[in-house]
Amino acid sequence: MELETRAVAVNEKGLIGIVRYKLSADEDEIILRTIEAGICGTDKDLAMGNLPQLKLPPGQDYLIIGHECKAEVYKAPPDSSFKEGDIVVPMVRRGCGICRLCKLGMPEYCESGEFKELGIIGVNGCFSEFFKDELSALIKVPKGVEDVAVLAEPLSGLEKAMDQILSFQRGRIPWRCDDGSMNCRKVLIIGTGPIAFLFAMLAKSNGFNNIYISNIRELRKDEIILVNTLDLKFYNSKDGYLQLYKEIGPFDLVFDTTGLPSVAAEVLQYMNYNSVLLLYGFPRKDDTGILRPKIMNEIVYKNLGIIGSVTGPKWGFEAALNHLASWKSQYPTVLDIFLKTKISFDEIPDYLKRPKFNEIKVIIDFNK
Amino acid sequence: MELETRAVAVNEKGLIGIVRYKLSADEDEIILRTIEAGICGTDKDLAMGNLPQLKLPPGQDYLIIGHECKAEVYKAPPDSSFKEGDIVVPMVRRGCGICRLCKLGMPEYCESGEFKELGIIGVNGCFSEFFKDELSALIKVPKGVEDVAVLAEPLSGLEKAMDQILSFQRGRIPWRCDDGSMNCRKVLIIGTGPIAFLFAMLAKSNGFNNIYISNIRELRKDEIILVNTLDLKFYNSKDGYLQLYKEIGPFDLVFDTTGLPSVAAEVLQYMNYNSVLLLYGFPRKDDTGILRPKIMNEIVYKNLGIIGSVTGPKWGFEAALNHLASWKSQYPTVLDIFLKTKISFDEIPDYLKRPKFNEIKVIIDFNK
Amino acid sequence: MELETRAVAVNEKGLIGIVRYKLSADEDEIILRTIEAGICGTDKDLAMGNLPQLKLPPGQDYLIIGHECKAEVYKAPPDSSFKEGDIVVPMVRRGCGICRLCKLGMPEYCESGEFKELGIIGVNGCFSEFFKDELSALIKVPKGVEDVAVLAEPLSGLEKAMDQILSFQRGRIPWRCDDGSMNCRKVLIIGTGPIAFLFAMLAKSNGFNNIYISNIRELRKDEIILVNTLDLKFYNSKDGYLQLYKEIGPFDLVFDTTGLPSVAAEVLQYMNYNSVLLLYGFPRKDDTGILRPKIMNEIVYKNLGIIGSVTGPKWGFEAALNHLASWKSQYPTVLDIFLKTKISFDEIPDYLKRPKFNEIKVIIDFNK
Amino acid sequence: MELETRAVAVNEKGLIGIVRYKLSADEDEIILRTIEAGICGTDKDLAMGNLPQLKLPPGQDYLIIGHECKAEVYKAPPDSSFKEGDIVVPMVRRGCGICRLCKLGMPEYCESGEFKELGIIGVNGCFSEFFKDELSALIKVPKGVEDVAVLAEPLSGLEKAMDQILSFQRGRIPWRCDDGSMNCRKVLIIGTGPIAFLFAMLAKSNGFNNIYISNIRELRKDEIILVNTLDLKFYNSKDGYLQLYKEIGPFDLVFDTTGLPSVAAEVLQYMNYNSVLLLYGFPRKDDTGILRPKIMNEIVYKNLGIIGSVTGPKWGFEAALNHLASWKSQYPTVLDIFLKTKISFDEIPDYLKRPKFNEIKVIIDFNK
């Protein structure tokens, strides 16, 4: 089968624009029709020519971007477990085929660094009307979650992050409180982007109830609705976190979405004994954090754990779809706000050039 | 405050019937109005005078039964975290107050055996129009899950069971398959009662896809719908499990709801290397399983794990409510079938006397 | 290089006797000279023609037995990490090369069942003056442990068993006592063979102090010394375990070396909440255990864990050598008793025919 | 009983010197006679008036220091598990009695910060000819380890650190290599003090074989012997770690004993995917580490874990005694070098004033 299709492409210098190309597939290959895709900071970095990790697919002089995808099976291989019309989301990280962890099906912990990533490193992504992919990288979306499945990808990496947090703590202390709940534990989330709010929901689904979310600016209208609906507390951190620490005491779990060294160095002073700082963000501006002896003392003396975590495993996508199904019932308003800004395929280049979004999330609607 | 209310009571000899009594509460106590309650096998055992664990509350000559509850806060203590109209589910197991695990908030692993259980051991239950309970035993039901929350209790114990399975395996082997999924693992569920189907959904939410459910009789109509909706496979085990083993190979996870020794002794022969048999059922008839040297050999030679698990922890209720919210989106038909048989309060005694239900689940609707 | 050597061989019918054969090795192969070897029950089973697992090496009409080995490198491949004179112990279990766990270096959890075992399944063993082996199966013995290294193999499997016990418990409860010790936990060991005493030492090294060891006969003189030196308590179980249970209360950890179904079925009645029964033995006589509903109830109601465990991983050999080094300092008398009965190569066939040993352990001294 | 005894005391300003005082004990109290004690950096900090954590015991105007102790029971309470002549080592960290972890017997993870520490925070230590202590804080030294037991305390904290490392990794990846060993993993130890060498031995006992130890100066004679005996590799880090990274590739486990922020910030650049940096040292000079975006990127992108760990649990002392027993057999030379510098009680003040020791370890011999 051969199809003519349009896609958004970049190269090392940044956005090329919309390209047309021919997609041809053998009988045993799958063709997917993109339904929705999310734009994330990485896409904007790619469009600006600012992502050193970028790799063009072998023999190609551009990369089609897009890694937060929801697609429909347009042509299924005859004897596969997929059939036309199935809704799927593709994984982002693809195993290197060399290291023992990738061979085990754990590319999220690839040891060689030779992994690929959909729409980022060596594999064309889904800002394309149609695309092809490996069968083993596709997760079927269960009925009833299809409308929100475009959020599975950004959530999948958070599932891995939370798993590392809980597993690390389980291995050393009983972290729950005397009443069996997590009510005595305080969570601080740094940032108010979509990742921050998705993590807040994930924390709630894991029993955390005292959740603070912070930004150095005041909240916008939609963000206020999210904070209220999710029963979070907002903290304006333009003067740092000392004031929050004085008010509520030390933090048990800090989740950072900014990647800023200065922020990490500051919050490490306000952590509780046996607490965890999860680093998830990549810094997007130059910034410096000063590690002083006092901070090193705190890390040791308080048994702190600092964990970096990146990308989502296959089980993370599965777990994400289950959590999204749960949040559809529990926080429909929240998912509505996440999904309400829908742009058309033709608008992508324009949006990629905007330095920042005021919307919680921008979704490309390929049917628009 | 004082209220006159009606309740279903038992003593050591079995069902007494509907009793009327005065419920009085101090200002700092909470009064709950039951909205829905589930009837479970334990209730029928109690009504038949067949549950040796039964303990009457101190100084009382009867016990009000009922432990699968959904209730509304009718009167809240002034400065509590509860307010009138909140929907709650109460935990069943209550800590002994003596052993280190109960002090830690882990009564689900009580070591002293001196724990209490709502509507079973020493604490009046919720087959009562109104009842009182300890604040620390109540879990607030999130918005959006209220309509299905009566299922939180039976699911809560399965959350603990699944946690033990996954944690045990995580500690010894990478159990996932080479594609990162659980597709290569085969689950066998023994029984087709509500616990069996709830476990099937929980297994699905944990990534298991090859799930066999079995009974020694053919399925009823509703059961067939559940099997189809959940994409399970049914196996008629009236001649034992050898045939299934021959067809699909050894089982990776067996979940037993029958408690029958003969069944456990048989399936242990058909387990895979490094597999787990989770025992969850209490036998309801006399039965004998013969352990032979060959079975002992299998357990050792194949690194089998056999785990018993009982009751649900507080986090299990929280996790259950999240899973129910997820299944509302994914399997609405299934939850409808679970909840469609609603009887009135006055019908409880009659239903308790029936030896078996043909319905998947019988729910008492206190508004009926 | 080519050597003429002598070895003890069996086939499916049992012991053949001492055979002479030519051992030839390429330049990149290693030749080992056996120094000491232990005789274990499996060897006697093989000599009696009673071990169904036996497999002859491909293209050979006999199998050289012996799997508890200590050997010296007689000829090392030029560029290997081994040099002549190094003391080594070989692993027993060899990966199938097919299943994911064997590829990961975890043949102790082989999933295919196609593994091989030194001197048992398809690989010639070390009851041979000289033998060849794969480099990756050899563990170098550190200086200072060489004299006791023949015990590494029987201990290696216990390391894996203990790891499963501790990891399973760590995943669910804080198992230590309120003073941070294991003093409140009671261990029962069933059997008084070498495995039983090695496990007792391992339990001591893991902090257990209340250790009961049992047999259906009175202890022999050497066993009494071991019990006293290790500060164990002996219990005569000829009338079962009820009396012990009445005296000391329920058991927290039971380690079985007999494999007898009747024993397992009995002892399951006397276990503590959240306790573990580790099955390690293979039954050597016909026996039956009756599983009754009451026992199934106990397993569920008390959150029991029953774990089967077989063979030793590479890390188990390493850990075993470390423990043996530790016990040399702490219990020299015990290791002396383990190692004092040394027979010559020529005596092996005679000893293999004896139905039972009165000695704690029989060691073949190849220098004798 | 009442005894006159001598001890080394400090207050907030630093060393007071040798004091005489009366020790009186009730019948149910234990009196210990110190046999050996180690001097550690903390003692020198206390003597310099440089340890802000210092707390005087209630109602006392000085603190007797000393926390690495080996003592003999001089007077035992009648019905205790101790008898006169028993050799014991006392734990350092004592529970706060308030927080849930201390109540559980886990003061090593005390959450309140209100813990005490022998010879440091509110509890008199063992640089005293005789002293009293709580029975629950004393660990009996097994026979055969008595001569090296003064090293149990410094090792006990490393046991906890290693446990956190291995448990964290076990929860997320199979960390062993394809041959089942740890041979593919590279360990870097920063520092060459006693803690560095004890950690090297502990790493060896846990199967690590590629161990690099580093300092910014060349090694002294004894250190060279230790490096050779333990088969370590020495790296001179006066120009940083880039050269080592270029030679051997990224590090899988880095263990820092310096606490220097500049070192931590540097080495984080050279870590492997999924590796762990364990921070154990307290900085003893002013120093600054610059966290740059690139380092934050590495932490996230490589799933790094950074873990702080302090003090030793009771099980850590037990494990330490077992490891010391093992090392007595394996590395007698090493323990000899650790223990060869013995000074008398009267020399303590003089040694406390020395800014640095050239000896690996200085031991006070109370019989001298």
Q: What is the CA radius of gyration of chain C?
A: 21
Q: What is the CA radius of gyration of chain D?
A: 21
Beta carbons of B69 and B56 less than 8 angstroms apart: no
Residues of C in contact with D330 (CB under 8 A): 142-145, 322, 325
User: In the prediction, which pLDDT does A128 show?
Assistant: 98
User: In the prediction, which pLDDT does D1 show?
Assistant: 86
User: In the prediction, which pLDDT does D356 show?
Assistant: 84
Beta strand ranges found along C172-270 (DSSP E): 186-190, 210-215, 233-236, 251-256
Residues of B in contact with D109 (CB under 8 A): none
The shortest C-alpha distance from A121 to chain D (Å) reads 14
- Whether residues A307 and D309 touch (CB distance < 8 A) is answered with no
**What percent of chain C is modeled with pLDDT above 90?**
97
The shortest C-alpha distance from D277 to chain B (Å) reads 22
Q: Is the pLDDT of residue C355 over 90?
A: no
Beta carbons of B297 and C264 less than 8 angstroms apart: no
User: In the prediction, which pLDDT does B355 show?
Assistant: 83
Residues of A in contact with D280 (CB under 8 A): 300
Low-confidence stretches of chain A (pLDDT < 70) are none
Residues of C in contact with A166 (CB under 8 A): none
Q: Is the pLDDT of residue B356 over 90?
A: no
User: In the prediction, which pLDDT does B21 show?
Assistant: 95
**C346: Cα separation from own chain's centroid:** 24
**CB burial string B96-132: b at 16+ within 10 A, e below:** beebbbbbbbbbbbbbeeebbbbbbbbbbbbbbbbbb
- Whether residues A308 and D295 touch (CB distance < 8 A) is answered with no
- Whether residues D145 and C318 touch (CB distance < 8 A) is answered with no
Name the residue among C180, C313, C326 with its Cβ closest to that of D313. Answer: C180
Best probe of the C interface among B291, B295, B302, by most C CBs < 10 A, is B291
| B265-276 mean pLDDT | 98
pLDDT digits (tens, 9 = 90+) for B326-346: 999 999 999 999 999 999 999
User: In the prediction, which pLDDT does A355 show?
Assistant: 82
- Whether residues D326 and C325 touch (CB distance < 8 A) is answered with yes
pLDDT-derived band at D355, boundaries 50, 70, 90: confident
Name the residue among A291, A302, A310 with its Cβ closest to that of D308. Answer: A302
Q: D297: which 2 tokens?
A: 């990127």
d(CA D368, CA D363) in angstroms, rounded, equals 11
The shortest C-alpha distance from A188 to chain C (Å) reads 26
Q: What angle do helix axes B152-170 and B314-330 make, rounded to 10 degrees? A: 100
The shortest C-alpha distance from A44 to chain D (Å) reads 17
pLDDT digits (tens, 9 = 90+) for A140-170: 999 999 999 999 999 999 999 999 999 999 9
**CB burial string D77-110: b at 16+ within 10 A, e below:** beeeebeeebbbbbbbbbbbeebbbbbbbbbbbb
d(CA B264, CA B306) in angstroms, rounded, equals 10
Scanning every residue of chain A, which has its alpha carbon at the shortest distance from the alpha carbon of C174?
A174
Q: Is the pLDDT of residue D128 over 90?
A: yes
User: In the prediction, which pLDDT does B266 show?
Assistant: 98
- Whether residues A100 and C104 touch (CB distance < 8 A) is answered with yes
Query: Cα dihedral angle (A104, A107, A112, A117), rounded to 10 degrees?
Result: 150
| D72-100 mean pLDDT | 96
Asked whether the CA dihedral D120, D126, D131, D137 is positive or negative, the reply is: positive
User: In the prediction, which pLDDT does C298 show?
Assistant: 97
Chain B: residues touching A (Cβ < 8 Å): 103-107, 136, 142-145, 167, 170, 174, 176-182, 205, 207, 313-315, 318, 322-323, 325-332
Chain D: residues touching B (Cβ < 8 Å): 100, 103-104, 170-171, 174
Residues of B in contact with C300 (CB under 8 A): 259, 279-282, 308-310
Q: Give the ipTM.
A: 0.97
Name the residue among B142, B180, B314 with its Cβ closest to that of A181. Answer: B314
Q: Which residue has 């470390």 as its token pair?
A: C322
d(CA A32, CA A130) in angstroms, rounded, equals 6
Residues of B in contact with D170 (CB under 8 A): 170-171
Beta strand ranges found along C203-354 (DSSP E): 210-215, 233-236, 251-256, 271-279, 289-291, 305-308, 342-343
User: In the prediction, which pLDDT does C1 show?
Assistant: 86
Residues of D in contact with B104 (CB under 8 A): 100, 104
Roughly how many angstroms between the first and final C-alpha of chain A, as a whole number? Answer: 25
User: In the prediction, which pLDDT does A145 show?
Assistant: 98
Q: Which residues contact C284 (CB under 8 A, 6 or more apart)?
A: C41, C45, C259
- Whether residues C176 and D315 touch (CB distance < 8 A) is answered with yes
Residues of C in contact with B113 (CB under 8 A): 273
| β-strand partners of A251 | A271
Name the residue among A111, A279, A298 with its Cβ closest to that of D274. Answer: A111
User: In the prediction, which pLDDT does C293 show?
Assistant: 96
Beta carbons of D11 and D63 less than 8 angstroms apart: yes
Name the residue among A104, A170, A174 with its Cβ closest to that of C100. Answer: A104
pLDDT digits (tens, 9 = 90+) for D325-350: 999 999 999 999 999 999 999 999 99
Name the residue among C282, C292, C308 with its Cβ closest to that of B302. Answer: C308
**H helices within chain D, ranges in order?**
41-48, 100-103, 152-172, 194-205, 221-229, 242-248, 261-267, 293-301, 314-330, 332-339, 348-353
pLDDT digits (tens, 9 = 90+) for C234-274: 999 999 999 999 999 999 999 999 999 999 999 999 999 99
Residues of D in contact with B172 (CB under 8 A): none
pLDDT digits (tens, 9 = 90+) for A21-62: 999 999 999 999 999 999 999 999 999 999 999 999 999 999
Residues of C in contact with A106 (CB under 8 A): none
- Whether residues A178 and D100 touch (CB distance < 8 A) is answered with yes
Scanning every residue of chain A, which has its alpha carbon at the shortest distance from the alpha carbon of C102?
A104
